[in-house]
Structure 1
Amino acid sequence: MLNSAAGSRLADLWDDQKASGMNEAELLLYRSNLLGSDKRITNYGGGNTSAKVMETDPLTGETTEVLWVKGSGGDVGTINLDGFATLYMVKLRALKGIYRGVDFEDEMVGYLPHCTFNLNPRAASIDTPLHAYVPRKHVDHMHPDAIIAIAAASDSKAITREIFGEDIGWLPWKRPGYELGLWLEKFCLENPDARGVVLESHGLFTWADDARACYETTLEIINKAMAWFEEKTAGKDAFGGSACRALAPADRRAAAARLMPAIRGMVSSKQNMVGHFDDSDAVLEFVCSKDMAALAALGTSCPDHFLRTKIRPLVVDFDPENPNVDDTLSGLGAAVEAYRDDYAAYYARCRHDDSPALRDPNAVVYLVPGVGMITFAKDKATARISAEFYTNAINVMRGASGVSTYCGLPEQEAFDIEYWLLEEAKLQRMPKPKSLAGKIALVTGGAGGIGSATAERFLREGACVVLADIDAAALAAAADNLANRYSADVVRSVTMDVTSEDAVAESFAGAALEFGGVDILVSNAGIASSAPIEETSLDLWNRNMSILSTGYFLVSRAAFQVMKTQGIGGSIVFIGSKNGLAASPGASAYCTAKASELHLARCLALEGASEGIRVNVVNPDAVLRGSKIWSGDWLKERAEAYGKDTSELEEHYRQRSLLKRSVLPEDIAEASYFFASEASAKSTGNILNVDAGNVQAFTR
């Protein structure tokens, strides 16, 4: 909301003690990070900052003026000094002499590298001229909801004047680029006392000749806008008031968990998408309102918003007063297809002869009355950030419609930015996706050595991973370790007893809610036991069968249900054991349960083939290091069975193998990755032994 987050006003976080001793570039970084730390000021990747700094020219040794400006694709909240582009101001000013007019402004981007100072490899963004030509040392360009709500109102100019008088100016909509940089310069020269300007349908520019003064000006202007909106909208119902009530939290999550795999399957024909669910107060207020559908159809206003969310969302036909998810699912395919057709028609209406080809026509944002907002993108971070941006758009619509008439960006202008050749060039420079990008894996026994190693292998290849384990403490430690190294966006954990039907169902629903579904199941939860047959109790027998056979059945059944709903195939990997093929003394319960796993996998390979669901088995042997199984009685029992001391067991297993090598968790992880990846796309029903060679376990 316009005043959501801690307090109803932006706090001045500038610390003179921290800032003392900083040079101008460091002050720019400090200011940028402070501004980017509050989403009410700007969202991830949104806005930019700059400073004009006197530097020593490495060629001449003379002092020269250098523009430090956020580089292309950066984020002011997390940027470091190497995230800023640096350019000679004298060369940026010289560009005016070769500018051929607005019809040729895009070609000016090609000249920016010629202005680079000190061989800085950071690419300058399209907004560089906007900062360069403002005749002040420090410039902030932010996208605060409160200001964009002004910029998106039908009488934006009049509202700007009412709130700020002559202090803050106003400029009509103009696509970011070289021409807008000249417009800003002209405004500053004609209005020397102005401290900033509102750009219609875009955002806010503020400036000063001191870093702290620039920061304080930005906060002051945004806070003034917040206060004005609070006064003008006090006592008014947002979005025309409520049309329905939100479902209870558990019911919202249950509905989203059923909808997300279905939507994911429909939008993942070209690449697997990852989902995000948001039922925050701001989102619920909007999706439950009378004006939601009409406002959503108008599209977003700020370029940053619709570049992340497409021009408009898809409103899902769901009645929270009669919450029948089955009815919604039955009509969902037609709704998604209608959205694609509408998007293709938009492309056809607006395209130019040199426009890039039609991109993915599926919606990014799905609004579900009474439930919340679902977003899908190529990875979890992008899906989450897209949700944040549409929440910004909701806040903007709330403000603009509360004091005036909300206006989305005109369709042609929106298209010209979405399919801008410069934006296309940026997309083409993106690195090639990793092999498991967009894939979602659930790993049982995820806190153990094999489970955590497998999760890490998948994460390295771009997958999202849900770790499942019955040991809550070990699970939390494993999840924290991986999240710290691979990002909290891509790691989730769930405490799961694989023998509990309800726990398994809840875990897969959780995976659907967090990421949109499941593509890969690694069934790895296990125990081990050793006892002569006459000493094998029924309880011990049942415990082995419950975890190693029934548990594998339950998680596989749940995986099949999700994968069939998605309709995009999948891969199930059982972590078996050499003991499933080769008998061992004093371990009848364990060996029999493991043999059951192998045959279950064969059966599931038959059932899953027509759906593109592959089922394969990795058979380890004697993976001692990092294994939770080998930390208990099993180690002592197996040592006794072979007449060895526990310290001698690893060497015993190594020497009995044909290759005389130890088998490590990373080896099992590599085999699991092979079966999870497209490298094994034509393999199902297979058993891959990773045991350093054991003739008894040869499958043929």
Structure 2
Amino acid sequence: MTTSTTFKHVDYLWDEAHAASLGDDQVALFLYRSNILGADLRITNYGGGNTSCKTIEKDPLTGEEVEIMWVKGSGGDIGTLTRKGIAGLYTERLRNLKKVYGGLHDEDRMVGLFNHCIYDLESKAPSIDTPLHGLLPFKHIDHLHPDALIAVAAAKDSEKITKEIWGDTMGWVPWQRPGFDLGLQLEKCLADNPGIRGIVLGSHGLFTWGNTSYESYMNSLEVIEMASQYIEDRVKAQGDNVFGGQRVKSLAPNARKAQAGKLMPLLRGLTSSQARQVGTFQDTDVVMQFINSHDIDRLAPMGTSCPDHFLRTKIQPLVLDLDPSEDLSDRSAILEKLEGAFADYRKGYQKYYDDHKRDNSPAVRDPNPVIILYPGVGLFSFAKNKQTSRVASEFYINAINVMRGAEAISEYTALPRQEAFDIEYWLLEEAKLQRMPAEKPLSRKVALVTGAGGGIGKAIADKLVAEGAVVVLSDINEDALKQANESYGRDQSTFAVCDVTDASSIEKAFDKASLNFGGVDIVVHSAGLAISKPLEDHTQKDWDILQNVLVKGQFMLAQEAVRVMRDQGTGGDFVSIASKNGLVSGPNNVGYGTAKAAQQHMARLLAAELGKDHIRVNTVNPDGVIIGSKIWEGKWAEGRAKAYGITVDELPAHYAKRNLLNEIIRPEDIADGVYACVGLLSKTTGNIINVDGGMATAFVR
């Protein structure tokens, strides 16, 4: 091995100071190694690969020193792996399973027997790859899925190329489904080739190892670097002929995103024929080179080679037969074209299932594509939530890299369809799916909330995210939006500066929602302001801004929301945040009260019109939300205090005392009202929910 820490194709992330702070804690060092390996998507993608280490521990029953293997548990991700995500097993017990192993037909039973090898009672469920680590003798082992290595593994003459790159220093094992027997094959490969530094698994990935965590890390980087450089040299030699050369010219980047944004709601609706999906769009250079090429028609139908890839991307993508500059304004004509393409894809997937199913195979899964390729525009992916769709797109980009590398050095080969099916519909894989936690009530839904930079709007966004939705935050205050957006996780939100009095600004916000998530299911109009003045002091400017923000803004938001929701064809929710003041006559309130009344009646009118589209329109009426509400930061509080003959400091208590429950109303209470409309009352439309502690004068009946 070399000692250089300079690499061209992978990132060297080992921090000596941090590693030293972990001392001789081998499990901590193994977790650290795992995390930095998982941080580089060229090494392994989210959830891909697994890592392990072996330590000497005291047996709690005998007091004897025994070897324990610590390995990534089922369903984990090495990039985010923690102590809770690993399994600890007695190495000797695991190896003793060789005595009871009955052959390939016995693989599923063996997984159950892993539980009899558990040392650490807090262990995560051991994965199917556990014996691949346990049957090898090394203290630290990395099983990774680097693009470059899978390209070698998926090449037509993989074994020969392995020899050409690494000589006698690497072993090679032909494709075999992960399981106990593959562990035996790795053990045999090492016995037949003592002194090797790693093993290439045909069509699958890489095993490397070391006596220390650092040695294993460096070994992995060096092996990947050698394969990457080998491939790069051959790709360069191809020049412009990569993937057979360019067939379709890309639109300019901004035009690609505009075209994608227009198409996303239609695609989302079609992929949601069985269950609602959330989308991701990618148009990186790697994507565009592949989808614009001559070879896409040959390579895309072959499907991906690595099991980790196609389990997330489906066996093959849908390639759209649309011109990059296709006029998408005639939605019905475009939808007709897309419906035909989707029908063919679903029929093909059903045939794939029927042709390869076993007597005990799980029922056919959703036949819609996960990956959709639009030459000249980009890659779309759709899945149950944003993280899953993003990860699917990343895995397909990995698959593209694999195909490019394999084609450059030899010829790309995919797994035989039966092998792929047996993994996709493996009973153990099905069991893993069944063990996944139940989805949250608003999972799979996209919400756009106006006025979300703070106050009631931010509280609504918080509630929707907590219940599983992804949210587009909109507001006129960009600084507030950025701060609000930072309070959520990577795949939970985005933001769009939006002036609800400007139709083009609203359109851009919805375009961003479509491009980022595929469309919109929930729109909450929470943007607002309040002006409290006697009639004689109320100006036309006051009147106009109230009408424009509260009423005209709601009207234009509804128009844009309905456009997107009709494209999706899956219904939706529109919620207006109005006010008790739209129902109750009070002093010094002519402009605000009139605008709120207009919001309320507009919601009823929209509900009557949009019911046929299954778009539900409801209103939430707050009252007296003083603490945490943005409108009370201005002169509104002074105006209301003056109207009631009290001080501003006395307002919270005043509002609480006047409602039947004597409760202070907070932004979170309004958020609960919105959630009731969109998450609980699925058969309610045209309704008004008062969140005011009980104001008899505001009772709607």
Q: What is the TM-score when the length of structure 2 is the normalising length? A: 0.97
How far does the alpha carbon of each residue in 1:540-593 deviate from its partner, in whole angstroms, 9 at most, with x for none? 111111111000001111111111111111111111101111112111111111
Equivalent position amino acid for 1:550 in 2: K
Equivalence for 1:684: 685
| 2:647 matched residue in structure 1 | 645
Match of 1:76 in 2: 78
Secondary structure in structure 1 of the residue aligned to 2:80:
coil
Task: Write the deviation string for residues 166-194 of structure 1: whole angstroms up to 9, x where unpaired.
Answer: 11111111000010000001111111111
Label 1:262 to 1:78 Cα distance change in 2 as closer, same or farther (>3 A): same
**Alignment of 1:10 onto 2:10:** yes
Q: 1:150 aligns with which of 152, 170, 187?
A: 152
In the superposition, relative to structure 1, how do residues 669 and 324 fare at CA in structure 2: closer, same or farther (>3 Å)?
A: closer
Q: Which residue of 1 aligns with 2:25?
A: 23
Q: What are the superposed Cα offsets for residues 51-87 of structure 1, whole Å, 9 maximum, x if unpaired? A: 1211111111110001111111111111112221110
Query: Per-residue deviation at 1:18?
Result: 2.7
Question: Which residue matches 1:579?
Answer: 581
Confirm whether residue 428 of structure 1 aligns to residue 434 of structure 2. yes
Structure 1 unaligned segments of length 5 or more: list them.
1-5
Which residue pairs with 1:133 in the alignment? 135
Match of 2:673 in 1: 671
Separation in 2, partners of 1:121, 1:225: 35
Listed as ranges, the matches of 1:415-564 within 5 Å are 415-481=421-487, 483=488, 487-564=489-566
Q: Could you tell me which amino acid in structure 2 is paired with residue 169 of structure 1?
A: G
**Aligned counterpart for 2:316 among listed residues 312, 316, 336:** 312
Report how far residue 293 of structure 1 moved.
2.3
**Structure 1 residues 672 and 125: CA distance shift in structure 2, 3 A:** same
For 1:595 and 1:120, how far apart are their aligned partners in 2?
Answer: 58
Whichever residue aligns with residue 463 of structure 1, its letter is A
Q: Distance in 1 between matches of 2:572 and 2:11?
A: 49
1:191-230 mapped onto 2 (5 Å cutoff) = 191-230=193-232
Deviations 1:489-529 (A, max 9, x none): 11111110001000001101110111111111111110100
Q: Residue 495 of structure 2: SS of its match in structure 1? A: strand
Letter in 2 for 1:480: E
The answer to whether the Cα contact below 8 Å between 1:318 and 1:328 also exists between their aligned partners in 2 is no
Q: Distance in 1 between matches of 2:578 and 2:591?
A: 14
Q: Quote the sequence identity (%).
A: 51
> Using the alignment, how far apart are the partners of 2:57 and 2:441 within structure 1?
44
1:330-349 deviations in Å (ceiling 9; x for gaps): 30011111101100000000
Matched position secondary structure for 1:467? strand
Matches within 5 A, 1:245-644: 245-320=249-324, 326=330, 328-481=334-487, 483=488, 487-644=489-646
Work out the CA distance in 1 between the residues paired with 2:538 and 2:300.
65
The range that moved more, 551-560 or 690-699, is: 690-699
Deviations 1:447-479 (A, max 9, x none): 232111111111111110111111112222122
How many residue pairs were aligned? 690
CA contact (8 A) 1:355 1:419 kept: yes
Cα drift, residue 324 of structure 1: 5.1
Counterparts in 2 of 1:144 and 1:325: CA distance versus 1, 3 Å: farther
Q: Which amino acid aligns with 1:36?
A: G
Q: Could you report, residue by residue, the CA deviation over 1:241-270 in whole angstroms, capped at 9, with x for unpaired residues?
A: 111221112211111112111111112233
Closer, same or farther in 2 for the Cα pair 1:328/1:7, shift >3 Å? farther
Tell me: CA distance 1:313–1:534, structure 2 relative to 1, closer, same or farther (3 Å). Answer: same
Partners of 1:192 and 1:208 in 2: how far apart?
Answer: 14
User: Aligned AA for 2:81?
Assistant: I
Going from structure 1 to structure 2, the CA distance change for 1:7 and 1:557 (only over 3 Å counts) comes to: farther
Q: Mark the CA change 1:609 to 1:645 in structure 2 (over 3 Å): closer, same or farther.
A: same
Q: Quick one: structure 1 residues 321 and 516, their matched pair in 2 at CA, closer, same or farther if it must change by over 3 Å? A: closer
1:43 partner SS: coil
| The 10-residue stretch of structure 1 (540-549 or 19-28) with the greater mean CA deviation from structure 2 | 19-28
Equivalent position of 1:3 in the other structure: none
Alpha-carbon RMSD: 1.3
Counterpart amino acid of residue 43 in structure 1 = N
1:86 to 85, 88, 92: 88
Distance 1:372 1:325 in 2: 19
Partner Cα distance (2:537, 2:329) in 1: 52
Q: Contact 1:135–1:188 (CA<8 Å) still a contact in 2?
A: no
Distance in structure 2 (CA, Å) of the matches to 1:87 and 1:131 = 11
Q: Which moved more, 1:500-509 or 1:237-246?
A: 237-246
- 1:309–1:389 contact (8 Å) kept in structure 2: yes
1:696 paired to 2:700 = no
Q: Distance in 1 between matches of 2:463 and 2:38?
A: 33
CA distance in 2, matches of 1:502, 1:123: 52
Deviation for aligned residue 1:328 = 4.2
**Number of the residue aligned with 2:69:** 67
1:126-176 Cα shifts (integer Å, max 9, x gaps): 000000011222211100000100111111111111111111111111000
* Aligned equivalent of 2:58, options 49, 52, 56: 56
Matching residue's letter, 1:13: L
Q: Does the 8 Å contact 1:106/1:178 carry over to 2?
A: no
Contact 2:131-2:183 within 8 A present in 1 as well: yes
Provide the rounded CA distance (Å) in 1 between the counterparts of 2:60 and 2:658: 66
Letter of the structure 1 residue corresponding to residue 316 of structure 2:
R
Q: Distance in 1 between matches of 2:287 and 2:149?
A: 20
**Residues 36 and 141 of structure 1: is their aligned pair in 2 closer, same or farther, counting only changes over 3 Å?**
same
**Quick check: 587-596 or 244-253, which moved more?**
244-253
The aligned counterpart of 1:240 is 244
SS in 1 for 2:9: coil
SS in 2 for 1:85: strand
* Partner secondary structure for residue 165 of structure 1: helix
